[in-house]
Amino acid sequence: MCVVLGIRLIKTKNYAVKFAFLFSAATALLFCLFLYEYGTLVRETQEAKTEAELFVQAKRIALEMDRFDSRTEEYFYFPRYKLYRAALIGEGGKTIFSTLGFKPLTAPGYHRLNERRYLVYELPRGVYFGAEYLVVSKDFYESEIYFRLLVLLFIAVSILFGVYLYLIRLFERPLVQMNENLDRFIKDSIHEINTPLAIISANVELFCMKHGENKHLARIKAAAKSLSNLYNDMEYLIKQGRGHFAKELTNLGEATRYRVEYFTEIADMKGISFLSDIGEECTASVNPVKLYRLIDNNLSNAVKYSHENSKIEVTLKKISDNEAQLCFKDYGVGIEKPDKIFDRYYREELSKGGFGLGLNIVKNICDDEGIKIDVVSKIDEGSEFRYLFSLSP
């Protein structure tokens, strides 16, 4: 499901999943800190338990050796166990008997060796086959402890992810409904605006053809064209998230001349004149709708922020066999923060009207089409926007 919020397309399903994932990740991070401390405690507890088990096993083996009577038995069968290995160590560390598989230290006490734990148990001298130490060993896997904790973490976070996702979708239902209503309202409004706008423009043209031009009709035509430009921006934003604008070979010079002619009546209202220098024909692979939006928004802004009775220079020239540069230069108020003008909703002159969408649309188009942008501006002297196109052979 898709909705338009602030003329920006949002996929609510992905929105809920992303936030549920972020909440789950934050929870998992907190759990990791807790589980690390818990894991350390479990490991220390397991170490103490293993040491006690080895001590008990050593006492059990010593008891078996105590029961051996050399007068009635020829051989002593050393006890063997599934979980434990043992060894008898004599004087000087000499091995008398061993099933350990490694050479242990002969210091009495509990020892760690990789994934083994062993206890060196001191024996009375001269009693147990000449052995001084009994060594009992057991495998000890720390990784198993942490693996169980990770499994527990995964299960807990998975459950929480489901809970978060359910709650987010539960709470977002009113927002989704509101956005759907807003989406329908915007689409219907766009459609409803287009019809009377076309009627106004057509009737003004017919009236001018029959009765001639006058300043009042010129203002109506200029206002209708300004409104039409805003309508085109709104329509483009809605279609941008729902459709694909295919590239095609487009004549940059013809498109630029056509749009300059369209904006001439708007510029005339402020006594602004266009100085066009559109050189040799340049053809680029670009979507015409996107190209018109780029040109229109630059011309609209140039007219809006230029001083009355000034001029706007529009130039198109080849700078190499593979590249052409389209420039819009005005002699207006200039830009205070050129690095922010492409941000959505950013406006430096609030009194000039608008929504702060135009140059953001231009920036997105340039990113999509691989068009390079360069902006030069000085306060109270004007601004120049340069666009570098890659030409088609």
Quickly list DSSP for 95-106.
EEEE-SSSPPP-
7 pLDDT exceeds 60? Answer: no
- Rounded distance, CA 154 to CA 378, Å? 57
User: What pLDDT score does 311 carry?
Assistant: 94
User: What pLDDT score does 149 carry?
Assistant: 85
- 238-242, 277-281, 296-300, range with the lowest pLDDT: 238-242
Q: Which of 173, 204, 223 corresponds to the end of one domain? A: 173
Residues 161 and 250 both lie in one domain: no
- Rounded distance, CA 8 to CA 38, Å? 46
SS3 229: helix
User: What pLDDT score does 192 carry?
Assistant: 66
- 116-125, 169-178, 209-218, 329-338, range with the lowest pLDDT: 209-218
Residues 158 and 255 both lie in one domain: no
Residues 159 and 286 both lie in one domain: no
For residue range 82-126, list pLDDT tens digits in order. Answer: 889 999 998 888 888 889 988 898 889 999 998 899 999 998 887
Residues 158 and 10 both lie in one domain: yes
Q: Is residue 200 part of a domain?
A: no
Q: Is residue 57 part of a domain?
A: yes
214 pLDDT exceeds 80? Answer: no
Q: Is residue 224 part of a domain?
A: no
- Number of domains comprising the chain: 2
Q: Which of 146, 173, 200 corresponds to the end of one domain? A: 173
Identity at 357, one-letter amino acid code: L
Average pLDDT, the chain: 82
**What's the whole-number mean pLDDT along residues 132-146?**
88
191 pLDDT exceeds 80? Answer: no
CATH code: domain of residue 364? 3.30.565.10
Q: Domain of 324?
A: 244-390
Residue 13 pLDDT class (50, 70, 90 cuts): low
Residues 144 and 256 both lie in one domain: no
Q: Is residue 206 part of a domain?
A: no
User: What pLDDT score does 197 carry?
Assistant: 67
- Per-residue CA distances from 94 to 35, 122, 128, 143, 332 (Å): 44, 14, 14, 33, 98
Residues 23 and 165 both lie in one domain: yes
User: What pLDDT score does 167 carry?
Assistant: 84
**What's the whole-number mean pLDDT along residues 343-369?**
76
184 pLDDT exceeds 90? Answer: no
Residues 143 and 256 both lie in one domain: no
User: What pLDDT score does 387 carry?
Assistant: 95
Q: Is residue 190 part of a domain?
A: no
**What's the whole-number mean pLDDT along residues 182-188?**
68
User: What pLDDT score does 92 carry?
Assistant: 82
Q: Which of 115, 148, 173 corresponds to the end of one domain? A: 173
Residues 251 and 145 both lie in one domain: no
Q: Is residue 286 part of a domain?
A: yes
Closest CA to 344 of 366, 329, 359, 334: 359
SS3 321: coil
Q: Is residue 234 part of a domain?
A: no
For residue range 293-329, list pLDDT tens digits in order. Answer: 899 999 988 998 899 999 999 999 998 889 999 999 9
DSSP annotation of 306: B
Q: Is residue 223 part of a domain?
A: no
